[in-house]
Amino acid sequence: MFTFIQHQRCKLSDWLQSRWDAGRREMDVTVLWPYICQQTDDIDEAKAAFAFHIMHDPAWTREFSEMELIYFVDRLEAPKRSVTW
């Protein structure tokens, strides 16, 4: 049985994990997605690569269902500006 302190520690741990995951998802969209688009010839190929990544990344799968991830990827558009590495 959890004590009050253990329960609070679990809540804090869950909160920290959710913040960490949100940051990882933001990096995927702002850095990885434009890079994938730059490396592929076609938007469908880029979407397939990005979908493969997020379907296997706990930062995405802990928060969203498979259908939500598919919907998200389907709505992605090519980045407005190119990324230079």
Q: What is the 3-state secondary structure (H, E, C) of 45-61?
A: HHHHHHHHHHHCCHHHH
pTM score of the predicted model: 0.80
Mean pLDDT, the chain cut into blocks of 10 residues (85 residues total)? 60 84 96 96 96 97 96 94 59
- Count, residues in the chain: 85
- In the chain, how many domains are there? 1
pLDDT score, position 84 = 61
Tokens encoding 57: 């990344």
pLDDT of residue 80: 81
Please give the pLDDT value at position 11.
73
Residue 20 in any domain: the answer is: no
57 lies in which domain range? 30-85
pLDDT computed for residue 16 by the predictor: 87
| DSSP summary character for residue 80 | S
Asked, for residue 65, whether it belongs to a domain, the answer is yes
Q: What are the tokens at 51?
A: 């979908």
In a domain, 48, yes or no: yes
